[in-house]
């Protein structure tokens, strides 16, 4: 299957700090998705990206579709305690399947 | 809102037992998926289904089977549970990607299985 490498694996930050994480693929993707999984819940879609170079925001979250189409980035500005969770990138392998990154676990210290 | 419901949030089973994990979605989605989530490994696809009675293997199908007798229901079966199947299992559903539709997956809350 596809390999999506996500980094960093975990982050411990102070409230108010900015966060950056990225995801790289061994293949070209036409879509990148970013999900967040809160403790005890299933992942929920945050941002969807459809075009190389695209930059999309959702509140304090900003995601970019890398121009090589093999990578994507997620930034969170001015983190707050409710940002805690695991963030996953995902990309479609075929029209219906998605492959997920290994996840970035975010802890925000008040 | 799309609702994906997994029948059991927590299960404890013994080695060799047969385990059924049930998943129901209420949005008439064609596609349904079972993933396994383990620390450091992310979400790995076990099986998926595009339609009733249709199933396809994902990356890690060994030790698992699935059943999709009705469109809204997708079951994951562990014929003989083993300790290395202790994990979080996530069910998801989606529409096929099309104009105006990302094909995004909607997930259930997960079923945490412990095999002793």
pLDDT of residue B100: 62
Q: Is A78 exposed, middle or buried (0-12, 13-18, 19+ CB in 10 A)?
A: exposed
Q: Is B17 exposed, middle or buried (0-12, 13-18, 19+ CB in 10 A)?
A: middle
| Mean pLDDT, residues A8-16 taken together | 96
**Cβ neighbours, 10 Å, residue B58:** 20
What DSSP designation does A82 have? Answer: G
| Mean pLDDT, residues B26-41 taken together | 91
Across the interface, whether the CB atoms of B109 and A40 are under 8 A apart is answered: yes
In tens, the pLDDT along A34-87 reads: 999 998 899 999 999 989 999 999 999 999 999 999 999 999 999 999 999 999
The Cα of B115 is separated from the nearest Cα of chain A by a number of Å equal to 19
Which single residue is written with the structure tokens 């940002």? A83
| Mean pLDDT, residues A82-97 taken together | 84
Task: State the average pLDDT for chain B.
Answer: 92
Chain A residues with a Cβ under 8 Å from any Cβ in chain B: 1, 4, 6, 9, 31, 33, 40-45, 48, 50, 88, 90, 92, 95-103
pLDDT of residue A92: 79
Length of chain A: 110
The Cα of A49 is separated from the nearest Cα of chain B by a number of Å equal to 9
Order of strands, edge to edge, in the sheet holding A71-76?
A4-7, A19-25, A71-76, A61-65, A55-58
Q: In chain A, pLDDT over 70 holds for what percent of residues?
A: 94
Across the interface, whether the CB atoms of A45 and B104 are under 8 A apart is answered: yes
Structure tokens at A107: 């802890």
């Amino acid at each position: 299957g596809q390999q999506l490498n996500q980094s960093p694996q975990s982050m411990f930050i102070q409230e108010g700090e900015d966060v950056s994480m990225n995801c790289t693929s061994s293949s070209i993707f036409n879509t990148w998705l970013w999900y967040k999984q809160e403790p005890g819940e299933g992942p929920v879609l945050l941002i969807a990206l459809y075009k190389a170079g695209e930059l999309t925001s959702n509140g304090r979250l900003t995601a970019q579709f890398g121009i090589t189409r093999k990578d994507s980035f997620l930034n969170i500005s001015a983190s707050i305690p409710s940002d805690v969770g695991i963030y996953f990138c995902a990309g479609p392998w075929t029209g219906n399947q998605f492959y997920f990154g290994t996840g970035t676990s975010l802890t925000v210290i008040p | 809102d799309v609702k994906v419901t997994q029948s059991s949030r927590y299960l404890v089973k013994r080695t060799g037992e047969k385990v059924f994990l049930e998943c129901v979605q209420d949005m008439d989605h064609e596609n349904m998926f079972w993933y396994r989530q383990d620390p450091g490994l992310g979400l790995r696809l076990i099986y998926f289904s595009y339609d009733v009675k249709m199933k396809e293997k994902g990356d890690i199908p060994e030790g698992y089977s699935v059943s999709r007798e009705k469109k809204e229901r997708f079951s994951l079966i562990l014929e003989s549970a083993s300790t290395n199947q202790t994990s979080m299992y996530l069910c998801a559903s989606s529409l096929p990607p099309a104009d105006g539709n990302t094909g995004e997956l909607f997930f259930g809350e997960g079923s945490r299985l412990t095999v002793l």
